[in-house]
Amino acid sequence: MSLAFNSSFKKINQVGFRRMASYTKLEANFIKPDLDDRSYRYIQLPNDLKALLIQDPSADKAAAALDVNVGAFEDPEELPGLAHFCEHLLFMGSKRFPDENEYSSYLSKHGGSSNAYTGSRNTNYYFEINHEHLKGALDRFSGFFTGPLFNKDSTDKEIRAVDSENKKNLQSDLWRLYQLDKSLTNVKHPYHKFSTGNFITLHEVPESRGIDVREELLKFYKRCYSSNLMKLCILGREDLDTLSDRACTLFQDVPNTGRGVPEYNARILDEHSLQKVIQAKSVKDLKKLEVTFAVPDMEHQWESKPHHILSHLVGHEGSGSLLAYLKAKGWANELSAGGHSVSRGNAFFSIDIDLTDDGLRHYEEVVHILFQYIEMLKLSLPEKWIYLELEDIARADFKFKQKRSPSETVSSLAKQLEKSYIPVANILSIELFRKYEPDLLMDYLNHLTPRNSRIMLASKDMETDTKEQWYGTEYKILNYSQKLSKIIQDPGLDPHLHLPRPNEFIATNFRVDKTDQIVPLEEPLLLKDDKNSKLWYKKDDRFWQPRGYIYVTLKLPHTQSSIISSMLSTLYVHLINDHVKDLQYDAACSNLHLNFSKTNQGLDITVIGFNDKLTILLTRFLEGLKTFTPSKSKFQMFKDKCTRQLTNQLYEIPYLQIFPVYSSLINERTWSIKEKLEVLKRLTFEQLASFAPSIYEEMFFEVLVHGNMRYEEAMEVDSLVQTLAPSDIKNYQAKNGRLRSYFLPQGETFRFETHLVDSKNLNSCIQHVTQLGVYDECLSSKASLFAQMIHEPCFDTLRTKEQLGYVVFSSNLNNHGTANLRILVQSEHTTPFLEWRIDNFLHSFGSTLRNMSDKDFEGHKDALCKSLTQKYKNMREESSRYASAIYLGDYNFTHRQRKAHLVSQLTKVELTDFYDDLIVGPNASRMVLHLKSQVSSDRLDESSLDKAKYPQGTLITDVGEFKSKLFAAPVRQPTKKFEVFTPKL
């Protein structure tokens, strides 16, 4: 990095080393983004634990993370999943706070949340909380590392939680193919292990061998969890001295065994693993080709990033790219490429291609073209201008980087700090390119050879002869065919493949006209309101960044008038995005993002990024939109792709399937996936060709322009979008054509039952929705406070204590005109049993509510109010909130502040009446969705279920007939009248 660049960033200058009373202060000059107002300090505790302290004087939420430089690779061979189990059980109480629920309860009461994950080489724990409660949260958090109980009473429950987590993934192709890939590697390297664990590996097998899993867990913890391998990161409002003292006081007693960072030197892909084709049978309708290369480990080459440069070129989607050529031949839909280190000395570079049916039949030719592209790169590189482009993009992105959530910040930094080869001064700026090292790039590229490769080919119809142990994935291993070996050994060149052109969208103008001592506006200004459109505008007055956000929502009656129109619109969006792929991809490489999508009101266009080229990108996109002419071959390709996507949604994890089912039941002009598939299969090219020209008839649109953009640019955007209208004929009702939800009759319960299409999925899912009434801010405030109060006890009761399943979720739910409360559980239990347990929880919560102390009640209100009134962390968050209010049509840009005020006024009596009347009383209206597994489990005891009582409610047998009998709720109305603003020029 040049000195000129170095001086363009703020630094924290801390001189010399000082020995503090209780910790050593490791001085460093942290390179920071321009607008980073945080202060940083890196210290070492007496037990060799190192900590990064971050003072953010304006933070609403504080956070902390601890990363242990040991992960699933350290699992004993005979106990797969032990590291993951340790991560689960660690939270079940400490010597100082023995209650297994103390930590999660404290966080929930103070606007907080927590999570953790077990990686191959690290385990990461993190939380966030309202800033004034950081000390109490840290006190509880630190106990898991200074004095964990590994509660004996919780052991069996958490083994079942791990088992449930594993069963959630058993029918996921992502997990199945990942484990298959791992299983077929060198057994001398721990990469091959099954890292999740399940009931068999953590209970049945150990018990049969006389192994006490808890005792083995304690040994694992003492062996692996050493303070010298840990990195702590704390973010809060307190000054650095206070945060440092707190870190030392609470974490200096973490034991230090002095163990070193584990090393794994065996080669993952040895000669027995390479030059193989792994044919795998998928659950979904996949057509997946993945070519993996064993390459040099470049983790330590963080300054020049050769693997990143190669990922950029191989994964490019513009003219001359590998994907563009494969798409032109009708063989591929999508492509991604990337390199990553698995352990020191072991790294992969993988190219993942989503094939068409024809591409699958010609997969060897696809691989041949891939090697032709690699050959072209070997002859064309190095090119310094490519490095300089990536360097410029990374520099601009870092220079103007904005804040993320506190928990994301501390979690990622704690993990990054494990990379001891990176000077701490650079830990915030690791994404920057600092050295041009062409020899390293060429050495890396020269390892992409047939000899270093292997192929995985996945589809539903693949020929197989073996099953993988942990997920049951069927597969077969073949050697490369003679034909394939011959054509890729000497692939030659193809004139269609060449390096990308220089990127025209790289920003060069970062000027921001900042005004000091200005109070930011809370709402955008309305610049225009007529029969054609509304134009909203807000000059950035909060972040002073050279960024912009353009949001265009097109209200188009044709696109959602019927299921046929809806599916034709979906295909149209796919075809347009393909038509402008060159444009979108070049822009995306420059961190300028354009999204074109279908909504339930029409179509949306969003353009985000540095404002320098924002309007140019929108102009070019709209030109592409107007010149688009559909082709029959592309229509068929994307019809097939869309059919596959919809079909695969029916094989998703059950809890991800349930909301579309609910939406098709409760919303007008909304259809089930099965209905969409039936229509899609019958659509013809001629229908699309006649439909496309009529899409923009009767158009009404709204525009939001926000950021470092002038009034004149906002007016220009409005004029550009106006050119899409094919005529002056207007539908004056188009602006009100918003989707509406249906009312359930008061006091009635309805249920909908359907079986999972995937006959092998063990999990059922239930969504229990209580409809509270017509949406208004007061009702929504009560629902939000009630959801806040039940969130932690719902999880603790249904997941932790009753062990119903890994996925337990509760929240308020605002539809298109109604307010609701929902509880969702995914489980091996039958859905009637789950309904009973949810019903029991809701009824038993009444005593909790009535016995709640005034202090706890006010605490819940305070936690919710502070969450609602958090300051915006970045411009995109602010823009998205404005865009949401425009899309909903209520223009309630300050709805969080208004809701917080309403919540602050609520009394316990009002909440108790709300609960008695709308949640459990005779006026409660409910819709319960049962998404049922076809697999029955003999090991689950449901003998206490009253089958005469559950399932409850009127069974919906004909969705159309059910919806036809209901009234539709009114859509949300504007909260006030906005006058058109005329600026003084």
Catalytic residue set: 87
Cα end-to-end span (Å), the chain? 43
Tokens standing for 603? 């179509």
H or E element in which residue 528 lies: strand 525-529
Q: How far apart are CA 985 and CA 982, in angstroms?
A: 9
- Check if the beta carbon of residue 813 is closer than 8 Å to that of residue 822: yes
Closest CA to 634 of 328, 318, 358: 328
Q: How far apart are CA 963 and CA 965, in angstroms?
A: 5
50-55 and 807-814 beta bridge pairing = unpaired
Q: How many CB atoms lie within 10 A of CB 843?
A: 11
Closest CA to 588 of 286, 908, 814, 315: 315
Which residues lie below 8 Å from residue 520, measured CB to CB, with a gap of 6+?
A: 541, 542
Helix and strand numbers (H, E) in the chain are 33, 27
Q: How many CB atoms lie within 10 A of CB 153?
A: 10
Place of tokens 């898991």: 144
What's the angle, vertex CA 36, arms to CA 34 and CA 37, rounded to 5? 125
- Check if the beta carbon of residue 654 is closer than 8 Å to that of residue 931: yes
749-755 and 954-955 beta bridge pairing = parallel
Q: How far apart are CA 830 and CA 303, in angstroms?
A: 54
Tokens standing for 517? 């001592």
Largest CA-CA distance found in the chain, in angstroms, rounded: 83
What is the 3-state secondary structure of 266-309?
CCCCCCCCCCEEEEEECCCCCEEEEEEEEECCCCCCCCCCHHHH
Q: How far apart are CA 618 and CA 160, in angstroms?
A: 52
Q: How far apart are CA 311 and CA 111, in angstroms?
A: 40
Closest CA to 72 of 62, 63, 80, 83: 83
Long-range CB contacts for residues 813-817, cutoff 8 Å, separation at least 24: 813/769, 814/775, 814/780, 815/666, 815/667, 815/741, 815/775, 815/969, 816/667, 816/738, 816/739, 816/740, 816/741, 816/969, 816/971, 817/740, 817/741, 817/774, 817/775, 817/968, 817/969, 817/970, 817/971, 817/972
Which residues lie below 8 Å from residue 445, measured CB to CB, with a gap of 6+?
A: 306, 310, 374, 377, 378, 381
Q: How many CB atoms lie within 10 A of CB 223?
A: 12
**834: Cα within 13 Å, side-chain hemisphere:** 28
Long-range CB contacts for residues 586-592, cutoff 8 Å, separation at least 24: 586/318, 586/500, 586/503, 586/504, 586/505, 587/505, 587/613, 587/617, 589/312, 589/316, 589/393, 589/503, 589/505, 590/393, 590/503, 590/505, 590/506, 590/507, 591/393, 591/396, 591/397, 592/505, 592/507, 592/617
Tally of residues, the chain: 985
Q: Nearest 10 degrees: CA dihedral of 668, 669, 670, 676?
A: 150
Q: How far apart are CA 565 and CA 552, in angstroms?
A: 21
Closest CA to 54 of 421, 412, 401: 412
Q: How many CB atoms lie within 10 A of CB 515?
A: 8
- Check if the beta carbon of residue 81 is closer than 8 Å to that of residue 68: no
